[in-house]
């Protein structure tokens, strides 16, 4: 999986323990799927998973890691071997992301470019194409020269960027007995109105940092559209136009209220951080109108950039961060008996709702 701000890797056992309290497995909707690791975990627990994220690279990851089932592995392995053997070929991508900016070494950039061109030429079906693109994205992520976001790159090549790029075989899961997974690329409100589920998991952005701006190279890698770019970071110009209401301090309350109204799932689980634009009292008063509310909290290490320090666009370290931990909340809405033992063993605490 790629390095990703707000990735819920450490929260997955807790989410699985909460969902484990639902008497019958069914459809699990992840409305803001990002890396798709939550959906992957729920598929491995036997749920039929429906994923959504409005960025194209996230839709590709969802198709690759969750929609594609393990019965396709046999046809994927020889293609990955073929792609890994291709010599590099420099072009627009290498010029933009390895010379004008420095996210990858030119050697690795040229290999990314040759493999990406070959995927286009092979013209595989949509699901297989997503698997190949996701494996390429993840191979590129393993040799990048950033602190985990594409707002900037390091001044000196990172150690890992000097390693040769190598695609891996994906870890695919067998199809859920409840049905094939689905991936959608919709704005969250539209997805909430259209997609039905038994459990909906919501992990919206919680501050001003736009995902498309932090991961613009992945968007370009999957779209392969040679976009107009700007600034030292060579961001796509459409990063300026794509604005999420969930990234807006004045907008998030209304966006969350509307989302609760649009979403019909009987059980809703919302991830949010104490550093987010919606403080706990505001989140609770918004949610408790929609059913029985339970609140869990867990102390969590902050994102990798915070632990490494603050860097200038040149990659130079220019400051320290004030703290390296934050509190993650899980707000659970609906009639669900959450088993304390399973959760406390994963570091979660039960919080008394503030209105109690």
Ligand X SMILES: C[S@@+](CC[C@H](N)C(=O)[O-])C[C@H]1O[C@@H](n2cnc3c(N)ncnc32)[C@H](O)[C@@H]1O
Spatial distance between the Cα atoms of 48 and 63, rounded to a whole number of angstroms:
13
Residue 37, interface with ligand X (CB under 6 A)?
Answer: yes
**Bridge partners, 199 (sequence order):** 28, 267
Quick check: 105 binds ligand X (CB under 6 A)?
A: no
| Residue span 240-279 as binding mask against ligand X, x where in contact by CB under 6 A, dash where not | ----x-x---------------------------------
Min dist CB 333 to ligand X, Å, is 18
Contact code string over 48-77 relative to ligand X, x by CB under 6 A: -----xxx--x-------------------
3-class secondary-structure state, position 46: coil
**Which residue of 34, 148, 170, 334 would you call a contact of ligand X, by CB under 6 A?**
34
Q: How far apart are CA 204 and CA 187, in angstroms?
A: 11
- Give the ranges where 143-177 is alpha helix by DSSP (H): none
In the complex, least distance from residue 78 CB atom to ligand X, rounded to whole angstroms: 30
Positions 195 through 234 that interact with ligand X (CB under 6 A): 203-205, 211
Closer to ligand X by Cβ: residue 32 or 331: 32
Contact status: 4 vs ligand X (CB under 6 A): yes
Give me the least distance between CB of 186 and ligand X, in Å please: 7
Q: Which of 60, 188, 270, 283 binds ligand X (CB under 6 A)?
A: 188
End-to-end CA distance of the chain: 40
Looking at the Cβ atoms of 89 and 298, the one nearer to ligand X is: 298
Is residue 14 near ligand X by the rule CB under 6 A?
no
* Dihedral sign for Cα atoms in the order 127, 121, 54, 269: positive
CA distance 306 to 325: 9
**Contact flag: residue 184 with ligand X (CB under 6 A):** no
CB of 206 closer than 8 Å to CB of 273: yes
Question: What's the min distance (Å) between Cβ of 38 and ligand X?
Answer: 5
The Cα 7–Cα 35 span in angstroms is 7
| Distance of alpha carbon 271 from alpha carbon 154, whole angstroms | 31
- CA distances from residue 351 to 290, 293, 331 in whole angstroms, order as listed: 18, 11, 10
Rounded to whole angstroms, the Cα distance separating 57 from 34 reads 9
Name the residue with the smallest CB distance to ligand X. 34
What's the token pair of residue 45?
A: 């627990």
Q: Does 301 bind ligand X (CB under 6 A)?
A: no
Q: Does 47 interact with ligand X (rule: CB under 6 A)?
A: no
By CB under 6 A, name the binding residues for ligand X: 4, 6-8, 32, 34-35, 37-38, 53-55, 58, 187-188, 203-205, 211, 244, 246
């Amino acid at each position: 999986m790629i390095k990703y701000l707000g990735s819920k890797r450490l929260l997955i056992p807790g989410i699985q323990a909460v969902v484990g309290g639902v008497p019958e497995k069914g459809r699990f909707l992840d409305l803001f799927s990002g890396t798709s690791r939550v959906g992957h975990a729920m598929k491995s627990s036997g749920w039929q998973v429906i994923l959504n994220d409005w960025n194209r690279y996230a839709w590709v990851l969802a198709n690759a890691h969750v929609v594609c089932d393990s019965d396709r592995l046999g046809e994927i392995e020889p293609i990955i071997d073929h792609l890994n053997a291709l010599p590099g070929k420099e072009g627009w991508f290498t010029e933009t992301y390895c010379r004008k900016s420095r996210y990858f070494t030119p050697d690795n950039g040229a290999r990314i470019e040759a493999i990406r061109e070959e995927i286009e030429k092979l013209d595989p079906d949509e699901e297989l194409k997503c698997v190949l693109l996701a494996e390429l994205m993840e191979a590129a992520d393993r040799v990048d020269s950033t602190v985990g976001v594409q707002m900037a790159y390091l001044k000196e090549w990172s150690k890992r960027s000097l390693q040769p790029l190598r695609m891996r075989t994906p870890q695919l899961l067998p199809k859920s007995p409840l049905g094939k997974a689905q991936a959608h690329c919709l704005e969250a409100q539209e997805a909430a109105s259209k997609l039905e589920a038994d459990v909906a998991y919501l992990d919206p952005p919680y501050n001003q940092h736009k995902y498309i701006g932090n991961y613009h190279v992945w968007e370009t890698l999957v779209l392969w559209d040679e976009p107009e770019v700007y600034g030292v970071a060579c961001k796509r110009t459409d990063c300026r136009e794509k604005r999420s209401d969930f990234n807006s301090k004045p907008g998030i309350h209304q966006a969350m209220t509307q989302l609760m109204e649009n979403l019909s799932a009987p059980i809703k689980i919302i991830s949010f951080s104490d550093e987010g634009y919606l403080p706990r009292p505001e989140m609770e008063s918004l949610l408790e109108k929609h059913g029985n509310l339970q609140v869990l909290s867990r102390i969590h290490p902050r994102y990798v950039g915070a632990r490494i320090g603050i860097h200038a666009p040149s990659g130079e370290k220019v400051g320290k961060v004030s703290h390296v931990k934050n509190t993650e909340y899980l707000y659970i809405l609906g009639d669900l008996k959450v088993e304390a033992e399973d959760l406390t063993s994963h570091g979660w605490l039960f919080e008394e709702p503030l209105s109690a």
